Amino acid sequence: MTMMCCLALQTQATDFWLGADISGTTELEARGVQLYNAQGEPRENTQLMRELGLNAVRLRVWVNPKGDFCSPVDVLMMALRAQRLGMAVMIDFHYSDWWADPAKQNIPQAWLGLGYEQMKLALAQHTRGTLQLLKTAGIDVRWVQVGNETTHGMLWDMGRAETHMDQYAGLTQAGYEAVKQVYPQAQVIVHLDGGCDPARYHFIFDGLRRYGAQWDMIGLSVYPYWDREAGLESDDQGTLRDCIANINALYERYGTETMIVETGYEVKRPEQGREFMRQLIAAARHSTQGHCHGVFYWAPELEGHYPLGAFENHRPTVIMDAFGDE
């Protein structure tokens, strides 16, 4: 048996995943950025994540992005690297040409002017087409997000949850069905931010349930920094305590498995970051009765304008050591 087969079998056997969203890998390379391990040896980003103890990657998909970064073809290139290393793959559909998050859910340029039924068809076609590209190349997609941080819905204003919950649910269902047509065994994730705040989860998932939308797993963003900025929490321990309580309550309320699909910490506080990540991973693994299935760091390699990466001088800080501590 080859080493690659051994890695794949090891990945398939686990029920808890340590991952990172490394969707910016090819763009960094195009800009000439070289990453290094902690010893200063050059490394490709996916390989570096594997060496740090991660067994999964998360990759975002934009519809028609500038420069083609995070286009379906670009995502395929990154997914192939991960699979060759025996790492599991999560696909995160933003349903936009650029970032989609709680502050913006912009309709792709090519979909502007579509009616609701046409929008569902466009979303389904984009979802199926992207996943079929991956499947044809032999990628085993384990999880698929239908939308990114859809705390207020997606494809505004058509799918804004506060005003058109029925249409948000219909768009989500269109994505769910498209995923299952290509990857019947993939887990479909609906992902919200503010993992410490049960109210936003009840609003969205009660609404999706009311209008008959399906999902397999709930994805949470867990960021102490943003929780403090939003006035949701006053310290790291509040975020940790309340996100784990929310994970357990979500299972009780909806019977749904969960995963922390985004987290991060202030890179300028690496020792505190390592400790928070160590505690978060341990709590997600051991304090959720097995209903939380992993923790994914968002863009650890990103430096500069973003404060919550985990690299300095293009090499990992001790924050990333938390993934090898368990």
Within 10 angstroms of residue 211's Cβ, the number of other Cβ atoms is: 15
| In contact, 202 and 253? CB cutoff 8 Å | yes
From residue 52, alpha-carbon distances to 84, 168, 324 in Å are: 16, 38, 6
CA atoms within 13 Å, Cβ hemisphere of 317: 24
| Closest by CA position to 191, among listed 225, 140, 152 | 152
Give the separation between CA 186 and CA 173, rounded to whole angstroms: 15
pLDDT for 200 beyond 80: yes
Residue with tokens 């790492």: 87
| In contact, 305 and 288? CB cutoff 8 Å | no
Q: What is the pLDDT of residue 13?
A: 41
Q: What is the pLDDT of residue 262?
A: 98
* Mean pLDDT along residues 296-300: 98
Class of domain 16-324: alpha beta
Give the sign of the dihedral formed by CA 83, CA 87, CA 93, CA 97: negative
Q: What is the pLDDT of residue 6?
A: 38
**Per-chain mean pLDDT for the chain:** 95
Q: What is the pLDDT of residue 136?
A: 98
Residue with tokens 């808890």: 16
Tokens coding 146: 């239908």
- Supply the pTM of this predicted model: 0.95
249-268: burial string, b at 16+ Cβ within 10 Å, e else: ebbeebebbbbbbbbbbbbe
pLDDT for 326 beyond 80: no
| Closest by CA position to 223, among listed 21, 27, 16, 48 | 21
Give the separation between CA 245 and CA 214, rounded to whole angstroms: 23
| 13-17, 41-45, 92-96, 282-286: the lowest-pLDDT one | 13-17
Q: What is the pLDDT of residue 305?
A: 85
* Mean pLDDT along residues 292-320: 97
| 235 prior amide bond cis, ω within 30 | no
* Mean pLDDT along residues 158-178: 98
DSSP one-letter string for 61-75:
E-SS-GGGTTSHHHH
List, for residues 234-268, the tens digit of each pLDDT value: 999 999 999 999 999 999 999 999 999 999 999 99
Report the run of H or E that residue 297 belongs to, with start and end. strand 292-298
| In contact, 18 and 323? CB cutoff 8 Å | yes
